[in-house]
Amino acid sequence: MTRHFRLFAGLASVAVLAFPLVQLTAQEQVPPAPAQAPAAPGQGPAAPAPAGPPAFPKPDPANFTAAAPTKEAVNAFLEQSWGYDDNRVWQVQAIMKTQVEGISKVVVYVGDKSGKQKPQALQFFALPDGKHIIAGDEILAFGEHPFAEMRTVLQQRANGPYKGSDTKDLELVEFADFQCPHCKEAQANMEKLATDFPRARIVFQNYPLEKIHPEAKRAASYGLCVAKLGGNPAFFQFANAVFEGQDGLNSADGATLTLNSAVTKAGQDPTKIAACASTPETDKEVEASVKLAEDVSVTQTPVLMINGRQIPIGALPYDVLKKIVEYQAKLDGVPAQ
């Protein structure tokens, strides 16, 4: 099964967080985030605290021992990552030196204005280059414009079939696998994005996960050839048909029937498409798309890159996804709708 994106206690998924953070353990020097007081002995459970923003403890200046990153830089980064969520609040609690020169530990308290979520103390490590952090087991971009570099890479190399705008001011690059069930589920939201953001360029970039989906690469090759011979509209007709008949990809013979049927629905000749799909040139194109996914740190499907901002979208509610697209467009100064 396609790898699911991680969840963090009391917070939304990594898709919503925009980057994974590790919850602090009890051994940390920084005090844990505030929690509801326990009931007194002999009494029943404590009454729920009134709804409202969390009362984060006042930061201790003794916990700001590192020269970099600055508190302002951390807040700018978090604003880029979390600012789309009007309900989220946070406080930078510590920026501390570590035993490794130039690597700083950053501690952030996160909560919500409604008070429905228990505040969490989270941490990441800022690297000496000022451009990257270590969060969990990943190295991620950091800074006031953390998605800019990935945006440039995708503008240069994301050359898959697309719908919408010919310009790349607002570029939504979907990395997907035709045999991935979550990718199939995500297509309804991708259609909504195309309707709600007609100025966006929506690119389908193949990322077949061959180890778990043995027919995904062949499906990707067929799709590229349909696009070559029939154009972008034919490709999306093909893609819709493959996702609709996805169960047929579970065997080699079934995949042949499913792919040929999808080719026909796209108005193309199955014999010509099969011949094109078997060429070394087509194989190289699929491999180049896989390499692009690896180079922009995509490790699962489906993932949507919104002007370089990576969002796993397998189970993300559409209203949240739409809000993130609107926010990223605003950050980049481009019209969204």
Q: Contact 211/4 with Cβ under 8 angstroms?
A: no
What value does the mean pLDDT of the chain take? 88
Task: Tell me how far apart the alpha carbons of residues 161 and 153 are, in angstroms, rounded to a whole number.
Answer: 17
pLDDT band of 10, cuts 50, 70, 90: very low
| Rg for the chain, CA atoms, rounded | 23
pLDDT band of 32, cuts 50, 70, 90: low
In this prediction, residues 189-196 reach a mean pLDDT of 97
- Above 50 in pLDDT, residue 1? no
**Least reliable range by pLDDT among 60-69, 114-123, 167-176:** 114-123
**Least reliable range by pLDDT among 6-10, 44-48, 198-202:** 6-10
In this predicted structure, what is the pLDDT of residue 43?
53
- Per residue in 284-328, pLDDT (tens digit) is 999 999 999 999 999 999 999 999 999 999 889 999 999 999 999
In this predicted structure, what is the pLDDT of residue 52?
78
In this predicted structure, what is the pLDDT of residue 337?
76
Under DSSP, is residue 2 helix (H, G, I), strand (E, B) or coil?
coil
Q: Contact 20/136 with Cβ under 8 angstroms?
A: yes
- Per residue in 119-131, pLDDT (tens digit) is 889 999 999 999 9
Going by their DSSP bridges, the two strands 201-206 and 104-112 should be labelled as unpaired
Q: Contact 109/121 with Cβ under 8 angstroms?
A: yes
- Above 50 in pLDDT, residue 160? yes
In this predicted structure, what is the pLDDT of residue 24?
43
Task: Tell me how far apart the alpha carbons of residues 283 and 292 are, in angstroms, rounded to a whole number.
Answer: 14
The domain made up of 149-332 has a fold known as Glutaredoxin (3.40.30)
Task: Tell me how far apart the alpha carbons of residues 327 and 117 are, in angstroms, rounded to a whole number.
Answer: 23
- Per residue in 231-267, pLDDT (tens digit) is 999 999 999 999 999 999 999 999 999 999 999 999 9
Higher pLDDT, 214 or 55: 214
Helices within 21-147 (DSSP H only): 71-82
Task: Parse the chain into domains and list their residue ranges.
Answer: 14-36+50-145, 149-332
Q: Which is nearest to 268 in space by CA: 239, 243, 244? A: 239
* Residue percentage of the chain with pLDDT more than 90: 77
Residue labelled with tokens 């190295």: 139
In this predicted structure, what is the pLDDT of residue 271?
98
In this predicted structure, what is the pLDDT of residue 45?
54
pLDDT band of 35, cuts 50, 70, 90: low
Amino acid of residue 134: I
In this predicted structure, what is the pLDDT of residue 47?
52
- Above 50 in pLDDT, residue 21? no
Task: State the pTM of this model.
Answer: 0.85
Helices within the chain (DSSP H only): 14-17, 71-82, 148-157, 181-196, 216-230, 232-244, 252-265, 270-277, 280-295, 318-332
- Per residue in 162-183, pLDDT (tens digit) is 999 999 999 999 999 999 999 9
In this predicted structure, what is the pLDDT of residue 54?
86
In this prediction, residues 101-110 reach a mean pLDDT of 96
